[in-house]
Structure 1
Amino acid sequence: MNQPKWVSLLGLANRARKVISGEELTVKEIQRGRAKLVLLSKDASSNTMKKLTDKCEYYQVPLKMIENRSVLGQAIGKDSRVVVAILDEGFSRKLTTLLDEI
């Protein structure tokens, strides 16, 4: 199965320990100013979606929407994940570039 390049890059960032997942941890990292990019699943609950889009807007963290939670979880080798934050500037720039091409 040929997966998109951004999925491979997200997996690499995860192995480099530059990725955190989960709503509460992501919100904390956004507030601390450590989150460089947030990936949010399009099938997240409306409550979660609003909370994270508001936080990203307020703290000026880029937010990208991902097709579904299973792709996001699979990319980092876990069960389905609704939200993932990238903590590294380099990974975040490259992921943004790859996701903009889709």
Structure 2
Amino acid sequence: MDQTQKLLNLIGLAFRAGALTTGEPQVLKALAAHQLKLVIIASDAGTATQKKLTDKTTYYHVPIHDDLSTEQLTQALGRPRKIIGVNDAGFAKGMVKLM
């Protein structure tokens, strides 16, 4: 199993464990509340969305990852999403290792 598939499996597991925040408004709110350890944005998300999230994550010192497509994120979560925030430090650490 390759690293990307392991990462997608871990994202799915974190989602089922309730350790993720999904959707742009929710992720932005959680960022402002210092609840996120990692942000994952789809590589094919809009330019304005990518810039907004990159600016916010830089401001709040949260790592951001953008190597996965919307299709891959949707497959991992079972629902269409372009933006995911990871609330749990353990899951975030595991995901960063796989990136």
Q: TM-score range by the shorter chain?
A: over 0.9
Identify which of structures 1 and 2 has the higher relative contact order when contacts are C-alpha pairs closer than 8 Å and 6+ apart: 2
Query: Structure 2 CA distance, aligned partners of 1:7 and 1:69?
Result: 12
Gap regions ≥5 residues in structure 1: none
State the alpha-carbon separation in 1 of the partners of residues 75 and 36 from structure 2: 21
Once the two structures are TM-superposed, the CA of residue 69 in structure 1 deviates from its matched residue by: 0.5
Matching residue's letter, 1:48: T
User: Could you tell me which residue of structure 2 aligns to residue 49 of structure 1?
Assistant: 50
State the TM-score, normalizing by the size of structure 1.
Answer: 0.90
Kindly tell me the number of residue pairs found equivalent between the two proteins.
Answer: 98
Question: C-alpha offsets along residues 51-98 of structure 1, whole Å, 9 cap, x if unaligned?
Answer: 00000000000101133111112111112x111000000000000000
Q: Which stretches of structure 1, 4 residues or longer, exceed 2 Å deviation after superposition?
A: none
Residue pair 1:66, 1:72 contacting (<8 A) in 2 also? no
TM-score relative to the length of structure 2: 0.93
User: Percent identity among equivalent residues?
Assistant: 36
Measure the CA separation in 2 of the matches of 1:73 and 1:58: 27
- The letter for the 1-side match of 2:96 is T
CA distance in 1, matches of 2:90, 2:21: 16
- Specify the alignment match of 2:22 in structure 1: 21
Residues 15-41 of structure 1: per-residue CA shift (max 9 Å, x gap): 100011111100000110001100011
Alignment of 1:11-90 (within 5 A): 11-79=12-80, 81-90=81-90
